[in-house]
Amino acid sequence: MPMRVFSASQSPLQAHRLLAGAALLCGLLGLQPMTPAHAAVAMTAIVAPVAPPPMRVEVIPAAPFVRAVWIPGHWYWQTGRYVWLPGHYTYPRVGLRWVPAHWRLRGGYWYFAPGRWAR
């Protein structure tokens, strides 16, 4: 299967939806996600000059499957402005909990901390 590479012109929402779909497919097939030992991961800091807007109140739909985990939506900085990435359901990771994405103020700038699974 060819690897999909995201270009800078691709919206984070498109990437977000593709990754959510891939996670859902892996869960349905019983596949384990790749860990950093298996995949090269490039990290780029997302920095904004102004604070994000207040969080949106999301209406959480009924879970699509048993043990579904709700991943809340969050603000993302793209092309000089904030865009909202809506929440979605995903499969749980055994022994882990979801830490939501958030913004941190450091030195007058806002740094994005992506959501992640943690012990």
Give kind and range of the element (H or E) at residue 13: helix 12-29
Is residue 114 domain-resident?
yes
pLDDT of residue 44: 87
Range of the domain at 36: 12-118
Is residue 6 domain-resident?
no
At 73-100, the pLDDT tens digits run: 999 999 999 999 999 999 999 999 999 9
Is residue 7 domain-resident?
no
| Beta bridge mates, 84 | 75
- Tokens 């879970």: give the residue: 63
Is residue 4 domain-resident?
no
At 24-51, the pLDDT tens digits run: 555 555 555 544 444 556 778 999 999 9
Is residue 5 domain-resident?
no
Structurally, the chain folds into a number of domains equal to 1
Over 72-108, what HEC string results? CCEEEEECCEEEEECCEEECCCCCCEEECCEEEEECC
Is residue 58 domain-resident?
yes
